[in-house]
Amino acid sequence: MKKKRGISSKLYIALIMIFMYAPIVVMIIASFNKGNTIAWKGFSLKWYGELFKDKALMGALLNTLSIAVLASFFSTILGTAAAIGINNFKGKSRAIIQNVSNFPIISPDIVMGVSLMLLFTFLGNIFRFQMGYGTVLISHICFCVPFVVLNVIPRLRRMDQSVYDAALDLGCNEWQAFYKVVIHEIIPGIVSGFLMSFTYSLDDFIITHFTQGAKFQNLSTEIYAMLRRKIPPTINALSTLLFAAVIIIMLLINLRDRREEKMKADTYTNTK
């Protein structure tokens, strides 16, 4: 009885995985196809060569990466400071600030994109600027900060307040107490906030689409433009490379986690 359930559950998980990976596998195979269409014409790496010659696409990739780094960096600072401040509020005012802070997470992307576009065109008419790199960066920070706040606040709540007080008693000023004590307690929250911001920023299409202006392109909007013209097979090569990058990053993170766990387990048995 138990064994039978084991097999059917494995089968179910396998089916879901086929559903999740079938499109990706098809895309990977197509990326090595010599022909222009899906019909197999023989193995070739020519689309990878063309990919790296595509200056627009490479520029867009660079934009995506730099926006993701900058947006998650600024969001982490802004969000961590905000989380510490919010943690000092009590009761109703705290609930209000937190609800407003969650707003970009729960409101649909398209509404955020459209509303920011209205703001930027309005401000652009007054201060004579056009949408581009700067407005996209601001918009990305907008939807990233709430994730940092959400990740840092639980850490602050769990922190033992007396550690901070002890640091002050021992002669630290507020800033020293922060970077010598508090930051060590909340760093896991800060890191996961940063990583979440980074991934959301990398993946964003909708908000960038509305705030990019005439000249700026990131990877998503460039792919969008490519798909509108016609479907070039270089996209398959691009997807394959991105997929490989994701796999490598995931494996590295997984390895790091396992090592940390092992270290934790070791120290645990040692102290015992």
Partner 1 sequence: MKSRRLTIPYIIWMLVFTMIPIVMIGVTAFTDKKGNFTFEPFEKAFVYSNVFVKSLIIALISTAICLVLAYPLAYLLTKMRKSSQRTVVMLLMIPMWMNFLLRIYAWMILLQRNGPLDTALSLLGIHGTYIGNTAAVIVGMVYEYLPFMVLPVYTVMSKIDPGLIEAAQDLGAGNASVFGKVILPLSIPGIISGVTMVFVPSASTFLVSQYLGGTDDIMIGDVIDKIFWTDENTGAAISLVMMVFIFVFLVIMNLFGDEEAIA
Select from 65, 69, 70, 97 the one that contacts partner 1 (CB under 8 A).
97
Only segment of 42-50, 52-60, 116-124, 126-134 that touches partner 1 (CB under 8 A): 116-124
- By CB under 8 A, is residue 108 in contact with partner 1? yes
Tokens encoding 233: 């097979």
Only segment of 25-33, 48-56, 125-133, 187-195 that touches partner 1 (CB under 8 A): 25-33
Taking the least distance from each CB to partner 1, the nearer of 88 and 270 is: 88
> How many angstroms separate the CA atoms of 269 and 64, rounded?
45
Measured CA distances, 220 to 19, 136, 159, 197 (Å): 23, 13, 40, 16
> How many angstroms separate the CA atoms of 209 and 195, rounded?
22
- By CB under 8 A, is residue 154 in contact with partner 1? no
Smallest distance, Å, CB 49 to partner 1? 20
Select from 65, 69, 84, 195 the one that contacts partner 1 (CB under 8 A).
84
> How many angstroms separate the CA atoms of 33 and 234, rounded?
11
**Interface size with partner 1, residues (CB under 8 A):** 82
Select from 56, 110, 163, 191 the one that contacts partner 1 (CB under 8 A).
110
Smallest distance, Å, CB 191 to partner 1? 17
Select from 18, 62, 100, 191 the one that contacts partner 1 (CB under 8 A).
100
- Residue 233 DSSP label: T
Taking the least distance from each CB to partner 1, the nearer of 91 and 108 is: 108
Select from 118, 187, 252, 263 the one that contacts partner 1 (CB under 8 A).
118
Query: Which DSSP string corresponds to 186-216?
Result: HHHHHHHHHHHHHHHHHH--HHHHHHSTTT-
Looking only at residues 28 through 67 of this chain, which bind partner 1 when binding is defined by CB under 8 A? 30, 38-39
Select from 68, 116, 131, 207 the one that contacts partner 1 (CB under 8 A).
116
Taking the least distance from each CB to partner 1, the nearer of 45 and 123 is: 123
- By CB under 8 A, is residue 235 in contact with partner 1? yes
Looking only at residues 204 through 233 of this chain, which bind partner 1 when binding is defined by CB under 8 A? 205-206, 209-210, 219-220, 223-224, 227, 231
Measured CA distances, 1 to 4, 8, 12, 26, 78 (Å): 5, 11, 17, 37, 55
User: Position of tokens 């969650």?
Assistant: 102
By CB atoms closer than 10 A (0-12, 13-18, 19+), residue 69 is middle
Taking the least distance from each CB to partner 1, the nearer of 39 and 126 is: 39
Q: Are 147 and 102 in contact (CB under 8 A)?
A: no
**In terms of residues, how long is the chain?**
272
Which residues partner with 33 through β-bridges? Answer: 43
Q: Are 143 and 192 in contact (CB under 8 A)?
A: no
Select from 145, 152, 196, 207 the one that contacts partner 1 (CB under 8 A).
145
Smallest distance, Å, CB 219 to partner 1? 6
